[in-house]
Copies of this chain bind each other. A is one copy, B any other.
Amino acid sequence: MNLPTKTPLSEALRLLIGQGVDAIDTPALVLDLDAMKRNLARMAEFAKKHDIRWRPHAKMHKSSALAKLQMQAGAVGVCVQKTAEAEAMVAGGVTNVYISNEVIAPHKLARVAALSHMLAAERGQLAIAVDSAEGVARLAQAMNERRAATGIPAVIDVFVELDVGQGRCGVAPGQAAVALAHEVRKHPALRFAGLQAYQGKAQHLRSPQERRDAIASVVQDAETTRKLIEREGIAVDLVTGAGTGSFVLEAASGVFGELQAGSFLFMDGDYAKNERDPAQPQFEHALFVKTQVMSAAGGHVVCDAGHKCHAIDSGMPTVYSFGSEPELEYFNGGDEHGILRRARPGAELPALGRTLWLIPGHCDPTVNLHDTMIGVTGGLKAGKVERIIRVDARGALT
């Protein structure tokens, strides 16, 4: 099979390594590596303390280099949403990948099967989610065809996805999941690996109590379904799920065995608006858009980063303030521009040419707009460019 290949970094990017942050052209996606490493250490410590597996979601950073960094810190592998993301991770040397999403197209399932066989040959492991008997049958067919073609007896891990309140994919908790577990177990190339119970909407409920209520219902659904399946003599090895907004609750549930939280590594502007659960580690913003004032002819100033540079599905970016108070507020200026106004009376409007740092509202689709992240150490004021991190799975949609 053909895995995606990497193109060389541009000369301009290679020359940037070792230079000060001032040398970074705008707009650019910049990663504060110090903050990111502290976030990673906090998560690793949390998982160790609670004796729980973590397989962070790589749909967020889409970088095989960061996936491997997470695995060095103790993660068992990564989750992805797309077959093409899985291919990019495997091409980058990641050996444990869970496609935590449904795949239904036969030609895409052929790619999933090929990846599973490739990883089996390297003692790695691929996993996937299902929520229909047809999906299970098609997956089994693709695995059997690949097995026949290669002679490798690969087995793919299959999680039955429950809809635990998000109203998107997944079967209803209860008997529908039991039936699907039986379907999975009909096929020797498929291993029933457990349940996926992810409630995306609960992540962004602002108060800890609202999140506790939402996740209590998730835990109950998962627990009830697990018991129903086990009553049929089928082991449920793992319940997997949880995002950055709620993982402390899933970790404490006694039902979940694996956390998928990914955003903690960069920490979205939006997640920071959640009132923090005291049990949750205090994560820092690590992902920024460097931007520059390119017009100040009106009573406001205009910067060179618009929504081709950062995603706005979770609101506008926040302007980072080096002081204790916010100075500027970002308003939508279209695809290529941002309008900056005073966030408080008396705040100083930045002059033409001044550079600023934005905190994206939502990291995942922001990262997906960029081919690279510029990794800096030593802070945003006086730091240096340490490395360029490729977004291997940028645009990996299929």
Please list the residues of chain A having a beta carbon within 8 angstroms of any beta carbon in chain B.
2, 4, 7, 10-12, 25-28, 59, 81-82, 101-105, 107-108, 131-132, 134-135, 163, 167-172, 176, 200, 292-298, 300, 302, 305, 307-309, 311-313, 332-337, 339, 352-353, 364-365, 368-371, 394-395, 397-398
Q: A28-B397, A297-B131, A369-B395 are in contact. Are A168 and B200 (CB under 8 A)?
A: no
Q: Is the CB of A337 within 8 A of B297?
A: no
A398 CB, nearest partner CB in chain B, Å: 5
Q: Which residues of chain B are near A364, meaning CB under 8 Å?
A: 308, 335
Contact between B169 and A337 (Cβ–Cβ < 8 Å)?
A: yes
The binding surface of chain A is classed by DSSP as loop
Q: How far is the CB of A196 from chain B (nearest CB, A)?
A: 12
Q: A168-B302, A168-B337 are in contact. Are A295 and B59 (CB under 8 A)?
A: no
Q: Give A394 to B371 CA distance when docked, in angstroms.
A: 10
In the complex, chain B residues whose CB is within 8 Å of the CB of A103: 294
Asked if B302 contacts A313 (CB within 8 A), the reply is no
A101 and chain B: residue at smallest CB distance:
B336
The 4 closest A-B pairs by CB, nearest first: A169-B295, A131-B297, A81-B336, A171-B297
B294 near A102 with CB under 8 A, answer yes
Max count, chain B CB within 10 A of own CB: residue among A2, A7, A25, A171:
A25
Shortest beta-carbon distance from A8 to chain B in Å: 9
Given A102-B294, A169-B337, A294-B103: A134 in contact with B25 (beta carbons within 8 A): no
Q: Kindly identify which residue among B104, B172, B292, B352 contacts A292, using a CB–CB cutoff of 8 Å.
A: B104
Which residues of the partner chain B approach A337 to less than 8 Å between Cβ atoms?
168-169
Q: How many copies does the complex hold?
A: 2
**Residues of B close to A104: CB separation below 8 A:** 292-295, 352-353
Cβ of A82 and Cβ of B336 under 8 Å apart? Answer: yes
Name 18 A/B residue pairs within 8 A (Cβ), A-sorted.
A25-B105, A26-B105, A81-B336, A101-B336, A104-B352, A132-B296, A132-B297, A168-B333, A168-B337, A169-B297, A169-B302, A308-B364, A308-B365, A312-B313, A368-B369, A369-B369, A370-B397, A371-B395
**CB-defined contacts of A365 to chain B, threshold 8 Å:** 307-308, 335
- For residue A308, which residues in chain B have a CB less than 8 angstroms away from its CB? 364-365, 368, 397
CB < 8 Å neighbour of A134 from B107, B353, B371: B353
Contact of A25 among B81, B108, B168, B172 (CB under 8 A): B108
Query: Closest approach, in angstroms, between the C-beta of A260 and any C-beta of chain B?
Result: 14
* Contacting residue for A297 out of B28, B163, B353, CB 8 A: B163
CB–CB B2/A102 < 8 A: no
Interface centre among A12, A59, A398, by most chain B C-beta atoms within 10 angstroms, is A398
List chain B residues, Cβ under 8 A from A82: 336
Name the residue of chain B whose CB is nearest to the CB of A106.
B353
Complex CA gap A332/B365 in Å reads 14
User: What's the minimum C-beta distance from A300 to chain B, rounded to whole angstroms?
Assistant: 7
Is there an interface contact between A81 and B335, defined as CB atoms closer than 8 Å?
yes
Q: Is there an interface contact between A132 and B395, defined as CB atoms closer than 8 Å?
A: no
When distances are taken between beta carbons in the complex, the residues of chain B under 8 Å from A333 are 168
The residue on B at minimum CB distance from A372 is B395
**Smallest Cβ distance from A350 to chain B, in angstroms?**
12
Which residues of B lie under 8 Å from residue A168 when comparing CB positions?
295, 298, 302, 333-334, 337, 339
Measured between beta carbons, the chain B residues less than 8 angstroms from A395 are: 369-371, 394
